């Protein structure tokens, strides 16, 4: 059984091409992907977390509001018992001010994200994290 990745955006982000790219990347790295599509309301995301119990949650955003809405999103996600310890990543264009992206990434991690990505160079780190999550999910499923 493949590990499950839940893929979403923030509520104001109506872009879809980033979701298609990340979905294909996740699938190539051995994940089953539940793609919620663009402009996902918080309640829909929370319901999907409970329903699918993903091995990880990925928030992809390119409209520049990832920092603002991402903080509210992680607060709500981490309030769910099922998601307290699950890896949650956010990445893309976190701000309309590229010079502030690294600072915002740190703040998003302090707010509860496992990792906030804001650079193309982050893809190797992301891929390594996917491998670790996949291995952990396989061991967890064997124990059950």
Q: Assess if residue 126 is contained within a domain.
A: yes
> Is residue 144 predicted with pLDDT exceeding 70?
no
21: number of Cβ within 10 Å: 11
Q: Read off the pLDDT of residues 52-61 as tens digits, 9 standing for 90 and up.
A: 999 999 999 9
pTM: 0.94
Q: Read off the pLDDT of residues 61-119 as tens digits, 9 standing for 90 and up.
A: 999 999 999 999 999 999 999 999 999 999 999 999 888 889 999 999 999 999 999 88
Number of domains the chain contains: 1
Domain that holds residue 11: 4-137
Q: Assess if residue 32 is contained within a domain.
A: yes
| Residue 57: closest CA among 38, 18, 30, 84 | 84
Q: Assess if residue 142 is contained within a domain.
A: no
Q: Assess if residue 43 is contained within a domain.
A: yes
Task: Give the pLDDT score at 143.
Answer: 65
Q: Assess if residue 88 is contained within a domain.
A: yes
Q: What values do phi and psi take at 8, rounded to 5? A: -150, 175
Rounded Cα gap, residues 77 and 136, in angstroms = 21
Task: Give the pLDDT score at 138.
Answer: 82
Q: Any idea what the CATH number is for the domain that residue 125 is in?
A: 3.40.50.280
Rounded Cα gap, residues 30 and 16, in angstroms = 21
Q: Assess if residue 144 is contained within a domain.
A: no
Task: Give the pLDDT score at 82.
Answer: 96
Report the share of the chain in percent with pLDDT over 70: 98
> Is residue 7 predicted with pLDDT exceeding 80?
yes
> Is residue 122 predicted with pLDDT exceeding 90?
no
């Amino acid at each position: 059984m493949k590990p499950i990745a839940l893929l979403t955006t923030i509520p104001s982000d109506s872009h879809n091409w980033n979701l298609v790219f990340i979905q294909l990347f996740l699938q190539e790295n051995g994940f089953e992907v539940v793609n919620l599509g663009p402009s996902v309301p918080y309640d829909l995301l929370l319901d999907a977390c409970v329903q699918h119990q993903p091995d990880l949650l990925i928030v992809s955003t390119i409209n520049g509001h990832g920092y603002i809405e991402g903080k509210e999103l992680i607060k709500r996600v981490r309030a769910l018992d099922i998601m307290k310890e699950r890896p949650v990543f956010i990445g893309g264009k976190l701000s309309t001010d590229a010079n502030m992206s690294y600072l915002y990434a740190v703040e998003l991690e302090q707010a509860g994200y496992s990792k906030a990505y804001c650079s193309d160079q982050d893809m190797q780190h992301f891929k390594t994290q996917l491998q670790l999550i996949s291995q952990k999910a396989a061991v967890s499923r064997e124990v059950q």
